Amino acid sequence: MHSILNILSFFSLLHCSSAFVARSQQERSGSLLSMSSHDIHVMVNGMPGPMATAAAEACLRKGLSLTPVAMTGPDIPSSTITVYDPVTEKSADVRLIPASETEEISSAIEGLKASCGEKNVLAIDYTHPSAVNDNALFYAANKLPFVMGTTGGDREKLVADIESSKHFAVIAPNMGKQIVAMQAALEDLASKYPGAFAGYKLKCKESHQKTKADTSGTAKAVIDSLTKLSDDKFTYDDIDMVRGDQESIDFGVPEDALKGHAFHTYTLTSADGSVQFQLQHNVAGRTIYAEGTADAVKFLAGKVQSESEGKVYNMINVLEEGSLE
């Protein structure tokens, strides 16, 4: 499915890759520049779910290697699937191990590190909101750097747990390059001009496929900035969350995107109703997120090689370093 991104804004929004794009090539160490994409082995957890599978395909597309084993849901039987990228026609067989089989997964991780290199194995997580915190602790305990694409869970605890363990991770509510740029611009505007929209009332409506269990993490992040620009007491509970097919279609979602989309509209209206500002970002498909996730893995692999101590990064860090292709 193709990706469509529309941004209608009231602001002017400002098996390691052979070419990590960065502000300065000189900042890269010789060891990083000599790495091949194939040296990065990625355990994509959450397959055969559509987002995890799309991320795995993007990894193949960008020349990364998939590990031969990965974690799936606790209630999904063990099986072997073939991940196929139709663009490059690359494929890889991956055996899925239920998350309940922690000893087997830990043993597999150790085996992968022994054969691929201690610093060359990383994980992508697109599992379920209810598993976010436990999975992050599992990755930290197994010294497995990870990109957390799954939204939901206790986000403050998630970041605090990983920061306290000094573990390498990229944690972000959205992996799409252009949306990350929009979020960064909004954060900057909110910090420079807090209260610029004082007196304006905020509304937010978001639509995702019916299988998405939680409220949009992107919406929450954008709301954080918009509430600083206004003085409205809008909370996450006030977000109008759409998960029904017909209501999504009425909201403008194409029928062929019902199984994978992310449509958001934020509206700021003056107290007398005479002035209205609206921001939209609408995505049909998963490609934009999958591509950004693969770029985040490459960014994190570089940090694992170059930094002596782990830390939590976000997608704005990835964008600022020029690692989003």
Cα 168 from Cα 139, distance rounded (Å): 10
- Give phi and psi for 2, each to the nearest 5: -75, 160
212 is catalytic: yes
Look up residue 151 and give its two tokens: 């939204």
Which one is catalytic: 62, 208, 228, 281? 208
Strand partners for 77: none
Cα 300 from Cα 44, distance rounded (Å): 15
Q: Residue 45: helix, strand or coil by DSSP?
A: strand
201 is catalytic: no
Torsion angle in degrees (nearest 10) through CA of 200, 201, 207, 210: 150
Which one is catalytic: 41, 62, 177, 212? 212
Strand partners for 263: 207, 282
Q: In what order do the strands lie in the sheet with 90-98?
A: 69-72, 90-98, 79-85
Rg (CA), the chain: 20
Give the residue among 223, 252, 247, 246 at the shortest CA–CA distance from 235. 223
3-state SS of 55-113 is HHHHHHHCCCEECCEEEECCCCCCEEEEEEECCCCEEEEEEEEECCCHHHHHHHHHHHH
Torsion angle in degrees (nearest 10) through CA of 217, 220, 221, 223: 160
Cα 139 from Cα 134, distance rounded (Å): 9
Instruction: Map tokens 């009231």 to a residue.
Output: 10
Residues with catalytic roles: 208, 212
